[in-house]
Structure 1
């Protein structure tokens, strides 16, 4: 009889632990980012220079202080995607990161498929937002836009403890 009680106790602890871990990963650390104005969506101009604001509406975003790559945003842009591609730095290697399911405007699989099929264009928003982290914006044919943070080559090497590639800024002191 006591073996059953121990088994039930262990099962209950496992279930409570699993639910707790799920909640912490999916809900606990994310916060809504309130729209703050024109600088919510910026793109880096071709030829260099500081990122410039892009006219947008319907801005929704989430972020977490627990990781620099948890930022996700959705919005609509007023400019045509082709006009943006002529003026701002485009990216060929953008891969969206998965967002929590409850942030339903950001579907990484659909964004990735649209980028591969040419129905969306990825742009550099801000390079080195913080050391090793870039912000990427993707704009669809219909004017919908999404943004996320990614680890760049400098960050990947630095975070792995490897020497940073040539052209990277000096890494921060650890």
Structure 2
């Protein structure tokens, strides 16, 4: 009887572990529908609403389970140096990892390109979700990448530090954050 119970416990643990792995790597992600003129936009140097840039070959994934799971790839004919003359650069130079099956987004390679200067990162949308900014990186070859990153307010809010007056008020549960973009 003891061996039977041990076998049940082991099989249950394996099934639970397999389910957790699947849900983290595959289960919650969905393809993002193309929204021409809104998929790739950058904040101008003087601030204000994000402006779209020309792009093609756009593909993206997102998950409703977390505001930082968004990843996207695209191509553009505009160089990073041309973009830097008009749009706000970002200091976020370490993209978050994407699931291995989303093979256009290699966070380590993108981070290396940002570190060696062959790519530049730009602010796309400030507070796309409370405490989360959208970052766009563009390489010298015209490959572009998008991810979400915690901003200072988000890091404070999620680690338990007092947020302070410089951060906007946190939205109530069920209330959509103000992002400067129309919600659908």
TM-score over 0.5 (shorter chain) = yes
- Is the CA contact (8 Å cut-off) linking 1:132 and 1:154 kept in structure 2? yes
Distance 1:147 1:16 in 2: 34
Unaligned stretches of 5+ in structure 2?
A: 174-184
Distance 1:120 1:111 in 2: 8
* Structure 1 runs of 4+ with >6 Å offset: none
- Is the CA contact (8 Å cut-off) linking 1:94 and 1:136 kept in structure 2? no
Secondary structure, in 3 states, of the residue corresponding to 1:91? coil
TM-score by length of 1: 0.93
* Aligned-residue offset at 1:159: 2.3
Asked if 1:110 is matched to 2:105, the reply is: no
RMSD: 1.4
| CA deviation string 1:62-110 (max 9, x = no partner) | 0011111000000001211110011111122332111111100011111
Unaligned stretches of 5+ in structure 1?
A: none
Q: Which has the higher helix share?
A: 1
TM-score by length of 2: 0.88
- Is the CA contact (8 Å cut-off) linking 2:125 and 2:135 kept in structure 1? yes
1:64 aligns with 63
Secondary structure, in 3 states, of the residue corresponding to 2:167? coil
